Amino acid sequence: MNTLTRLAFALLIAAATPAFAQQPVPVSAEEQAMLDEEARLEAEEAMVEASANANDPTAPNPAPAFPELRPVLDEFGGEAGLTALMETFMVGLLADPRTGPFFANADQVRVKRQLTEQFCVILGGDCTYSGRDMRSSHAGQNIDRSHFYALVEVLQVAMDEHKVPFRAQNKLLAKLAPMHREIVTK
């Protein structure tokens, strides 16, 4: 074999060598830290997704139906009224310094949808609640009574803005109030 043929053969073999057989390209400490952080976030996201549908089998039903409250649902404007209420409610939650930190990084679209579903079911509507139980949903968030009461205040302000009659507000709040046992974690 002549030199040119050997060189061509060597180049052909080198080009055909799989990438995994080549030496890894060194990365800086900063690049490695970014790669490590990315891997940590991906693992954390996978854990969140895996637990997203996990419910505590000992927790109370987060959306018990009260068919006798169907007229109250009508006073809220039905499911469409609840959807509009949740828009105002979320704006208030984010604006309030006592509740904002709990919702700033949450999937707000999902939270609004699930609250609409939950309230609709509780008020005797033909909705289906797709969320988790209250204990699982709020675990590890260090929610104390003052946070819970702040959320109720923001809800009341939103209901007032939507002209929900006071009596209808009280009927819903009476069904939601016992959930504090599952939501308050601190």
Domains assigned to the chain? 72-183 (1.10.490.10)
The identity of residue 23, as a single letter, is: Q
Give the mean model confidence (pLDDT) for residues 147-163.
95
Q: Is 79 exposed, middle or buried (0-12, 13-18, 19+ CB in 10 A)?
A: middle
Query: Shortest CA distance to 127 belongs to which of 172, 56, 64, 68?
Result: 64
CB 166 within 8 A of CB 72: no
CA distances from 113 to 3, 25, 57, 83 (A): 73, 47, 23, 7
Threshold 0.75, pTM exceeds: no
Q: What is the pLDDT of residues 85-104, one digit of tens each?
A: 999 999 999 999 999 998 99
Number of other residues whose CB lies within 10 A of the CB of residue 181: 11
* Alpha-carbon gap, residue 119 to 74, rounded angstroms: 12
Q: CA-CA distance, 185 to 175, in Å (whole number)?
A: 19
Given pLDDT bands bounded at 50, 70 and 90, which one contains residue 51?
low
